[in-house]
Amino acid sequence: MGEEIFQRPSMTLERFLAVMDERLEKSRIESEKESERRMRESEKESERRMAEFEESLKKSREKFDEDLKKSDERFEKELEKSRKEFNKQWGDMGNRLGEIAEATVIAGILPKFQKLGYTFTKAYPDVVITDRQGKALAEADITLENGDFVLLAEVKIKPNIDDVKDHVKRLEIFRDYADERNDRRKFIGALAGGVFLKNVKQYARSQGFYVISQSGDAIQIDENPKDWEPRVW
């Protein structure tokens, strides 16, 4: 037999197996370490991405809350603006309706009071009296006057008992105001309404007021009992 080309190391089988076991164990340990390293890196990456997501979510929520707040503020401003415009329009409409009602009453009652013996030569809507400092004391919806009498009429859509009481106070204030200015004319009162309850009419009449009501499309001064006399302030 010829000479062997490859020289084999002198190692027993047991030694060979032991060396292989050592290598396998080392490889296993290195593999586990690598797996742990990759797992830690993966966990760190997951944590980083989760943190980025939470931060992004937080910013989105904050932006949403801010936009919602701005939207609410804009809505409140627009609502307040609309409310003011509506109130103004409603107030203007109410004023115009009041002016129309007062003008209608004035035009309707002047000739009727003349039949009762009052020849009023002047008529004014919305007369306001003030004190010497300019503070309003009282206001009359309709004022009719001549050289002897001043009639103050309060105009309401549906008068009530409190309206009658307020008108009594109004006459008293106008009377005091006239006395301070040496105006000795006699003051009388009237209550005009579109819809009258029977008890309100009776109470107004008991306080010495003429009652002016609506009959169809016409304005009338209600007929009073024969022994009734208007109260004079």
Question: Domains of the chain, with CATH numbers?
Answer: 108-221 (3.40.91.50)
SS3 labels along 55-94: HHHHHHHHHHHHHHHHHHHHHHHHHHHHHHHHHHHHHHHH
Task: Give the count of alpha carbons within 13 A of 128, CB side only.
Answer: 6
Instruction: Judge contact between 155 and 193, C-beta under 8 A.
Output: yes
pLDDT of 194 > 50? The answer is yes
Query: What are the tens digits of pLDDT across the range 80-129?
Result: 765 665 344 434 433 444 454 566 677 778 899 999 999 999 998 889 99
C-alpha separations of 221 from 26, 111, 123, 217 in Å: 122, 11, 17, 14
End-to-end CA distance of the chain: 160
Tokens describing residue 66: 């801010």
pLDDT of residue 84: 61
pLDDT of residue 101: 55
pLDDT of 188 > 70? The answer is yes
Tokens describing residue 185: 């004319």
Of 74 and 144, the structure prediction assigns the larger pLDDT to 144
pLDDT of 147 > 60? The answer is yes
What is the rounded radius of gyration, in angstroms, for the C-alpha atoms of the chain?
Answer: 50
- In this structure, the chain runs to a length of 233
pLDDT of residue 53: 80
pLDDT of 190 > 70? The answer is yes
> What gap in Å lies between CA 69 and CA 77, rounded to an integer?
12
Query: Residue 8 corresponds to which amino acid?
Result: R
pLDDT of residue 3: 52
Output the average pLDDT for the chain: 82
The rounded percent of the chain whose pLDDT value lies above 70 is 83
CB-neighbour burial class of residue 110 (10 A; exposed 0-12, middle 13-18, buried 19+):
middle
Q: Of 108, 94, 97, which is closest to residue 192 (Cα–Cα)?
A: 108
